[in-house]
Amino acid sequence: MWIVTGAAGFIGSAFVWKLNNEGIKDIILVDKLHSEQKWLNLRKREYADWVDRDRLFDWLADPSKAGSVKGIIHMGACSSTTEQDGDYLLENNYGYSKKLWDFAAEKEIPLIYASSAATYGNGEFGYRDEVSPEELRKLLPMNKYGFSKKIFDDWALKQKKSPPKWAGLKFFNVYGPQEYHKGRMASMVFHTYNQYKATGKVRLFKSHRKEYADGGQLRDFVYIKDVVDVMYHILTETFPPGIYNIGTGKARSFFDLAMNTIRNASGNPEVNPSDVIEYIPMPADLLEKYQYFTEASMEKLKKAGWKKPFRTLEEGVSDYVTNYLSRDDLYL
């Protein structure tokens, strides 16, 4: 059995889709659904069983079940970058992860877990994963969410007893199908498409730094199908343990993202930006915390054996808008 935590969430459910595409159905889905609509992410999937997130360790305490586990893909966490309850974040993103690490180390099974590019903070020390644990400990996250992810990375790197194969994945700006339940935390592609369809306009933040034009703030946008391909490769191939960036290695502007989305949504490659883009002030609560630039260094992943090119922003947005957002069926 393969355990996938956060199985109804964005990346978790997309990875279950990837496993199904590879013919794998002996999957234990672990999550909590609450009142969100993320259950829709699993309607098409095939799996062996569902286990409530709060009962997973009771399930693992049964030797007949624990002995059948082949590996753990731990995507379950509080993923809201605006969450202010630090104790809740540490319980979910740190304490729970430590328990899964200890189980995987004891049973000698692989573990892949979700870290985050939010651990890099404002990029004072760059966005390089190919550095020492001491250098990674210097990172200064800008919010409690990033801090909760960073301290687990730090803890994992200090452990003498580890799973035989493990990887902490620093996801950059992931977008694509399966994110529809995320509300404000959904990607800018999702929000751009819906704004344009509703109003014929798209709102982007004005810049408060002279070196960046309005809408010129840069992010490393990575498509969900590339993300799950990397995860499956790590899980099934010989791969050095450690912490890895998951991005494209190429930062692009929000303006580029918006115009690519609008062109695909409208079917008009010649649409005039001045007709569809409106620049608005950045909310006061974001001014001191806003990142103007992120770009993943991808050399470590390549050196570890990943050869497949990532989709460009144009390719990823085209697939997302044409094959999902513009259709009634919004799921993988």
13 and 174 Cβ atoms separated by less than 8 Å: no
Q: What is the CA radius of gyration of the chain?
A: 20
DSSP codes, 143-202: SHHHHHHHHHHHHHHH-SS--SSEEEEEE-EEESTT-GGGGGGS-HHHHHHHHHHHHS-E
Residue 28: name the closest of 5, 45, 9, 54 by CA: 5
Concerning whether 145 is annotated as a catalytic residue, the answer is yes
CB atoms within 10 A of CB 232: 18
Q: Report d(CA 191, CA 214) in Å as an integer.
A: 18
Catalytic-role residue among 96, 127, 145, 244:
145
Structure tokens at 62: 């049964």
Burial category of 330 from C-beta neighbours within 10 Å (exposed 0-12, middle 13-18, buried 19 and up):
middle
277 by DSSP, 3-state: which? Answer: strand
Catalytic-role residue among 65, 94, 107, 182:
182
Burial category of 59 from C-beta neighbours within 10 Å (exposed 0-12, middle 13-18, buried 19 and up):
middle
Active site residues: 145, 182
